[in-house]
A and B are shown apart, each in its own frame.
Chain A
Amino acid sequence: DVKVTQSSRYLVKRTGEKVFLECVQDMDHENMFWYRQDPGLGLRLIYFSYDVKMKEKGDIPEGYSVSREKKERFSLILESASTNQTSMYLCASSFLQGGNEKLFFGSGTQLSVL
């Protein structure tokens, strides 16, 4: 069974803390994505990666960075967490080739920044 695993289901952090959200997939997918989901706003793309060491900004990259040192792992970093980064964070992966738009999502990390 295919799996995208996010390291934490719930996280509570304080303003100004550095936060790491980890995501691992076991499907040998090239593409990996980080989204945040907020009520009334839907899923918004933060960053994505098509290959190891490669990263591209999505629609709302401000305040975030990412790291992809290995194909199976894609990390989202909040350098200095702020209250407006309280959200549900979803990692996803997919194959690179077009026609395979199916995204496999992790179960999400609900982050609260106090």
Chain B
Amino acid sequence: RKEVEQDPGPFNVPEGATVAFNCTYSNSASQSFFWYRQDCRKEPKLLMSVYSSGNEDGRFTAQLNRASQYISLLIRDSKLSDSATYLCVVNPLGSNFGNEKLTFGTGTRLTIIP
């Protein structure tokens, strides 16, 4: 089983719709979780961290389910500019450690259709 698994998609979603995708992780001791966004032929950029209580940033909501070992990303009122690949990233170490153990999923490709 891969350490971090994502549905590769592509998800083709009409503009204005709500879309959600999950990411599962295998190490139950994992401590920190993130979503990165990567535009076509560009570098990944941090979209948001994922906190235990769940967190929201505008149209984006991230959730963590430790019992089932997955994190999710929900995008409401999707825009054309949301088209990108979304990378799930897991750090099995606590926040007091470095980030050399960050494990990246292969990404979920999202295309918003006009």
Interfacial residues, chain A to chain B (CB-CB below 8 A): 31, 33, 40-43, 45, 48, 50, 56, 58, 90, 94, 96, 98-103, 105-108
Contact = CB atoms under 8 A, between A and B. Distances in A.
Contacts of A105: 43-45
B97 A103 contact: no
Interface string B40-78: 011111100100000000000000000000000000000
9 contacts: A31-B99, A40-B106, A58-B100, A94-B99, A98-B95, A98-B97, A103-B46, A105-B44, A108-B42
A96 B96 CA distance: 10
B95 A42 contact: no
A48 B106 CA distance: 20
B87 A103 contact: no
B86 interface: no
6 interchain residue pairs of minimum CB distance: A105-B43, A43-B104, A98-B96, A42-B106, A99-B95, A98-B95
Interface of B: 4, 8, 32, 34, 41-46, 49, 87, 91, 94-100, 102, 104-107
Contacts of B105: 42
A90 B94 contact: no
Nearest to A9: B41
Contact of A50 (B41, B46, B98): B98
Contacts of A100: 99
Contacts of B107: 42
Given A101-B91, A103-B44, A105-B45, 12 more contacts: A31-B100, A40-B8, A42-B87, A42-B107, A45-B102, A58-B100, A96-B98, A101-B32, A101-B34, A101-B49, A105-B43, A107-B43
A95 to B, nearest CB: 9
Contact of A56 (B42, B96, B100): B100
Contacts of B43: 90, 105-108
B100 A98 contact: no
B19 to A, nearest CB: 21
A42 B8 CA distance: 11
Contact of B100 (A40, A42, A45, A107): A45
